[in-house]
Amino acid sequence: MTDANPAALPPEYDAVIVGAGFAGLCMAIRLRQAGQRFVLLEQAPSLGGTWQANRYPGAACDIPSSLYCFSFAPNPDWSRAYPAQAEIEKYLNQCADRFCVRAQMRFNHPVTAARFDEERRHWRIEVANAAQVFHARSLILATGGLSRPKLPDIPGIAQFAGASFHSARWPADITLAGKRVGLIGTGASAIQVLPAIVGQAAQVTLFQRTPAWIIGKPNWAAPHWRKALYRRWPSTQRISRVFNYWRHELFAVAFTRLPALLRVLEILPRLQLRWQVRNRQLRAQLTPNYRVGCKRVLLASDFYPALCRDNVQLVTAPITRIATTAAVTGDGVQHPLDVLIACTGFEAAEACAPFPVTGRRGVDLDSAWRDGPNAYLGTTVSGFPNLFIMTGPNTALGHNSMVYMIEAQANYVIDAIAQLAQRPGAALEVDAAVQRNYNSALQRRLARTVWNTGGCSSWYRTRDGLNTTLWPDFTFVFRHRLRRFDPAPYHWLD
């Protein structure tokens, strides 16, 4: 719809969702089930979010397949214990078709700005193509915290003569056969990329800043009898889901309550490192000097063996600059390269709005978050009525499935929109004091967790040390807090 006469236009939608990953799709399904008018806007050509964008070799989930799906849409046909990128993307597309929400999706629709209309009390959302404008009572941001790649700030990188890219922007036509490849980082993406490319590349140089805690990944193929069992008796799959949920939830005890247990959790990764890396010097370089859990614990059974191959070199000296055909490290060594791949993560803790979002009195979300992203229950922000943020500040996890958190938020948002429907023309805004007190309590809780005290620097925290990323408790506590929408912390704008 073009915005020829804004004053004459009623809101055409109850809600506009931005983003078509797990969170956006979950909201679309719940809104359709609730009979709400909505549209989903996605800048990519297809749905999938993280799993549409990250197509690097070896891309896969590190959460068991029984947990990495919607509770209302279990998939009995997962092929492995930990699903790969293509299978997750396929699952999301199947859900879109099964729950009949594809018709409400608009792909290749990059949102450029969103502004709250104070007079009419609804959101005005602008899209880049066709000068299109959408109007909705509620705006749901489901763009995720892992949508903006974090590129390394290394002098000379723009002058590199070979192919250079972030792992989340892997070129479809790139070939690594016979190439000298530089891999920056040893995080979740890098430990999947290395085993996948080491057999193709002539040489791989892995640049490590900080070693990670890595435990084995029992990624067994799902037998046919198990798939048949899950299809015939769905309750058996639910039992598997419950078992895996509580197995992962136990990590929160060590991470947030009993730090003495961290030494116990370090036993298995230390043993794995000793078994798979025989070279003592290399093993010392791969041994973390911080507590397990301070950075994200990684799952891999093939990373260390790949690293021990003859055509792989681990470099721990920092890269000081990039030349046209080499990376130069702090010890003065030049490492000749044909391809440079940055597995350097995403802008998560410093996350700003994915596009200009303007609330009441002309305040934009980036300005409201100048001291760090924060929200009430990770979902609503004072000064931004009827704005709901999926996987917002302090909703990410270091121990369990984000899909669980997404469903909790979806329930909360649906309940809020239902209450809005009872007061046409009104808007809801969380009180500033409530939001401030909530986040103060959250930061006090985070101060005692391994993520803040474990002796590392990580993407969980801002440059100022503020943890704006993680939820510092059990996931069932979060779900309980969001079990229903309580209007008491909010005020109405009529």
The answer for residues whose C-beta is within 8 angstroms of residue 396's C-beta and 6 or more apart is 145, 348, 402, 405, 460, 469, 470, 471
C-alpha 51/C-alpha 90 separation (Å) is 10
Tell me which DSSP letter residue 70 carries. -
The answer for residues whose C-beta is within 8 angstroms of residue 229's C-beta and 6 or more apart is 236
Count the residues in the chain: 494
C-alpha 393/C-alpha 380 separation (Å) is 10
Structure tokens at 141: 């941001």
C-alpha 143/C-alpha 352 separation (Å) is 11
The strand order across the sheet containing 203-207 reads: 163-166, 339-342, 180-184, 203-207, 312-315
pLDDT of residue 465: 87
Helix 224-232, helix 234-249: angle, nearest 10: 110
Q: Is residue 477 classed as helix, strand or coil in its secondary structure?
A: helix
Q: How many helices (H) and strands (E) does the chain have?
A: 16, 20
CA angle 396, 196, 349 (to 5 degrees): 20
C-alpha 55/C-alpha 247 separation (Å) is 29
Q: Which is nearest to 313 in space by CA: 333, 288, 298?
A: 333
Measured over the CA atoms of residue 298, residue 299, residue 302 and residue 305, the dihedral's sign is positive
pLDDT of residue 351: 59
C-alpha 270/C-alpha 309 separation (Å) is 20
**One-letter identity of residue 163:** A
CB burial of residue 246 (10 Å; 0-12, 13-18, 19+): exposed
C-alpha 119/C-alpha 3 separation (Å) is 16
Domains detected in the chain: 6-148+347-493 (3.50.50.60), 157-213+266-342 (3.50.50.60)
C-alpha 408/C-alpha 475 separation (Å) is 9
| Beta strand pairing call for 326-329 and 13-18 | unpaired
Alpha-carbon distances, residue 449 vs 22, 238, 261 (angstroms)? 28, 31, 12
CA angle 300, 150, 354 (to 5 degrees): 120
Q: Is residue 221 classed as helix, strand or coil in its secondary structure?
A: strand
| Local mean pLDDT, 10-residue blocks, the chain (494 residues) | 44 93 98 98 95 95 96 97 97 98 96 95 90 92 83 92 95 95 96 98 97 96 96 96 96 94 96 97 98 96 98 97 96 97 78 86 94 96 98 95 98 98 95 98 96 92 90 98 97 94
DSSP alpha helix (H) spans, 34-84: 50-53
C-alpha 347/C-alpha 469 separation (Å) is 11
CB burial of residue 172 (10 Å; 0-12, 13-18, 19+): exposed
C-alpha 137/C-alpha 115 separation (Å) is 11
Residue with tokens 């073009």: 2
Question: Could you give phi then psi for residue 113, rounded to 5 degrees?
Answer: -165, 150
pLDDT of residue 130: 63
